[in-house]
Structure 1
Amino acid sequence: MAKRTAVKNQSADGVNPRQPCPCGSGKRYKACHGGAGGGADVIVSRPFEGLAAETELIALREFVPSATAKLPLRDAEREVTLASVLPMAAAALIRADGTAFVGLQVQTRSGDLSRDLARAVQWVLSAETGDALPVVGPDDGTNPGRLQDLLDADVNLTPELHTDFAWWMPPDNEPTGDVALSLERANAAILPTERLDAPGVHAAYWVDAGDKAHLRWVRPEPEEQLLAALARLSGRGELDLGEGSRYAGSFRAHGLLVPVWDLDREMHSSEWASPAEGLGKRLQEALTSLDSEPLTEAERRSRDGLRGRQITLR
């Protein structure tokens, strides 16, 4: 009897259909991008590239619990507010007072978060008061463009952070039903978070995780360049923010690296603004020095150690 030829159980793009989808949805690949209508979708690893607001968008998408920011839309007749998360994780909605919101922390089957946001923005620009878009589905071939096509690329975001989700409701309106339940659960899950305000410090957030506090700082530099600069500072003993802090590691999110520091939670968040400014200056100096001073052998070993303390968020 002839031997059977072994067939690898994977799709044409090399993904096992039974494994989690690379888009980060939590579903198996065969039930997500590997399913009918999803196979042609391209996963964009750096969806906000080219926007001045890239680092802030990543922070709002990944770890800032309750925040809003005006979207710098070009040629839009309606003002649209970007939200970290909306009731029941909706993709977009028009509040009862007519305020238009688009959410960042949403479920999606698309491989391009920028395109999803563009579709949500286009929907909200023509929606009626009280309407809600629960989810942006798979690409339907309408070619809505991407967020880069709708925003002023040179304008950054200045998010307003909130201690709860009361802004979900118009002033003097009491939530009811599913919205009230969603609001209660969302408020209970908030980790106290503050955006550090200092010259040269952008997309840097203090987070109180309970047993300790953290600084999460979304950096715009290419990963290898940033790792080399971090390694240089580590070799000099300059990678912390002073007493009560230590470098903990980093994670990747939407194509950029987010270094994380453990902080003494007994100190107020505002007390870390000046140390963060100093660290930012040292980091910039280290980045500049790489052009003329290659890493030493010890610094390369340090870089390899830093690389080993990374995880990836999609």
Structure 2
Amino acid sequence: MGKKSRKSTADVIAKRKARAASAAFVARPFEGLPFEADLVCFKELVPAATATAKLNEENGGTEITFASLLPGGAQAMHRQDGVVFAGMQTPFSSPDPSRDVAAAILKAKDAEPGAIVNATTNPGEGPRLQDILDLDAPFSVTVQEGFDYWIAPGQAEGEEAEQLAEALEQANTRVHPTEKLVSASGAYWTRMGEKVFVRWARTEHEETVVDALARLHAAGENTFGGAGRFLGTFRAHGITVPVWELDAGSQPDDAEEPLAAFAKDFDAALAETTPLSAQERSARAGVASRQLTIR
């Protein structure tokens, strides 16, 4: 076999491997991003929120706005005023949502204002968010009361604006009050009907989180600083999200002080490495039985 044939065969094999890698399931797609917990919450738990981020210099240094939801469940949007949005809540995705969002961002960035990039189950080979974002740039979260960010300031006329306004009105009716808590990273207060919850996305290994919850539970301290009742956990995109129910009259500010105190107890439990006691193992079985996998 000549050099040219060997090179061609190597190229074919490399392409096959690249295609296989792009189709492989990624259990924790946003791992390595400093704002992994918030992205998971945007994708699965927070109804309306935005956060500013930035592409790295290799990809132009453009400012990007991540959003929980875009019109029609789009993956990305180049708004009429030039702002590029990345949507996290889509009707479907490939086995690697990080690659999905990255591909859509790059496509929307280079598109004309007003362009929409729809979700796909096959974005093809290409970079992931971990490859295109400036990981040192701030990720500034703003929880929104609705989806008014879909429409650019001054974009109030024309058939397209009217259609967007109708979709916006319908979407806003489904938003339940939510606030990002400041006393700990990845924690969100929300009111759903007459009930109030705090959902706290944790990026530690799942087994470590469950063990910590078991230790707290066995000691009667899994109570969100005495302000809540532990309900269970969500599994979402490779991380664990414990949930506590708070008093029905609780407001976001009421949760800050208990969260700050409880965070110290939680950190101590996470750092504990001694084997679980019999009582803690029993508590762990109860915690594990209250897990719900979202994705």
Q: TM-score range by the shorter chain?
A: 0.7 to 0.9
- Please state if 1:289 is matched with 2:272: yes
Instruction: Tell me what 2:6 maps to.
Output: none
Query: What amino acid does structure 2 have at the position aligned with 1:123?
Result: K
Give the AA of the match of 2:116.
A
Change (3 A) 1:203 1:245: same
1:184 pairs with one of 169, 175, 178: 169
Which residue of structure 1 aligns with residue 140 of structure 2? 158
**1:277-306 deviations in Å (ceiling 9; x for gaps):** 11111011111222xx22101101100110
- Selected match of 2:62 from 46, 69, 78: 78
Q: Which amino acid aligns with 1:180?
A: A
Secondary structure of 2:106's counterpart equals helix
1:193 aligned residue (159, 178, 189): 178
Assess if the C-alpha contact under 8 Å between 2:78 and 2:109 holds in 1.
no
Q: Distance in 2 between matches of 1:42 and 1:310?
A: 25
Q: Give the one of 153, 177, 193 matched to 1:210.
A: 193
2:205 maps to a residue whose letter is P
Q: TM-score if structure 1 supplies the norm length?
A: 0.82
**2:295 aligned with 1:311:** no
Q: 2:114 aligns with which of 106, 127, 130?
A: 130
CA-based RMSD of the aligned residues comes to 2.0
- Native 8 Å contact 1:115 1:147 kept in 2: yes
Indicate the residue corresponding to 1:252 in structure 2: 235
* CA distance in 1: counterparts of 2:256 and 2:239, whole angstroms: 22
- CA offsets 1:182-235 (integer angstroms, 9 cap, x no match): 20111000010000012xx01100010112110011001111111111111111
Give 5+ residue unaligned stretches, structure 2.
1-18
**Alignment-derived partner of residue 266 in structure 1:** 249
Local SS of the residue matching 1:257 = strand
Partner of 2:91: 107
**Which amino acid is 2:105 matched to?**
V
Query: What stretches of structure 1 of length at least 5 have no aligned partner?
Result: 1-36
Q: 1:254 to 1:131 in 2, by over 3 A?
A: same
Structure 2 residue 31 is the aligned partner of structure 1 residue 46: no
Q: Distance in 1 between matches of 2:22 and 2:132?
A: 24
In 2: Cα distance, 1:40 partner to 1:54 partner: 20
Supply the AA of the counterpart residue of 2:48: S
In structure 2, give the amino acid aligned to 1:232: R
Could you tell me how far 1:42 is from its partner in structure 2?
Answer: 1.4
Q: Give the alignment partner of residue 209 of structure 2, picking from 210, 214, 226.
A: 226
Q: Distance in 1 between the 2:221 and 2:139 partners? A: 29
Q: CA deviation at 1:242?
A: 4.3
Contact 2:235–2:293, Cα closer than 8 Å, also in 1: yes
- Secondary structure of the 1:71 match is strand
* Maintained 8 Å contact 2:99/2:128: yes
Amino acid at match of 1:57: L
Structure 2 counterpart of 1:149, one-letter code: D
- Residue 182 of structure 1 aligns with an amino acid whose one-letter code is A
Q: Which has the higher helix share?
A: 2
Three-state SS of the structure 2 residue aligned to 1:286 is helix
Separation (CA, whole Å) in 2 of partners of 1:81 and 1:221: 26
**What SS does structure 2 have at the residue aligned with 1:250?**
strand
Relative to 1, partners in 2 of residues 1:238 and 1:146: Cα closer, same or farther, differing over 3 Å?
A: same
Residues of 2 paired with 1:252 and 1:195: CA distance? Answer: 19
Distance (whole Å) between structure 2 residues aligned to residue 178 and residue 297 of structure 1: 60
Shift of 1:241: 2.1
Equivalent-residue separation in structure 2 for 1:228 and 1:78 (angstroms): 41
Code of the residue aligned with 1:168 in structure 2: it is W
Identity of aligned residues (%): 39
TM-aligned CA distance change 1:109 to 1:100, over 3 Å: closer
Tell me the CA shift for residue 152 of structure 1. 2.9
Query: What secondary structure sits across from 2:54 in the alignment?
Result: coil
Deviation of 1:156 (Å):
5.9
Are 1:171 and 2:153 counterparts? yes
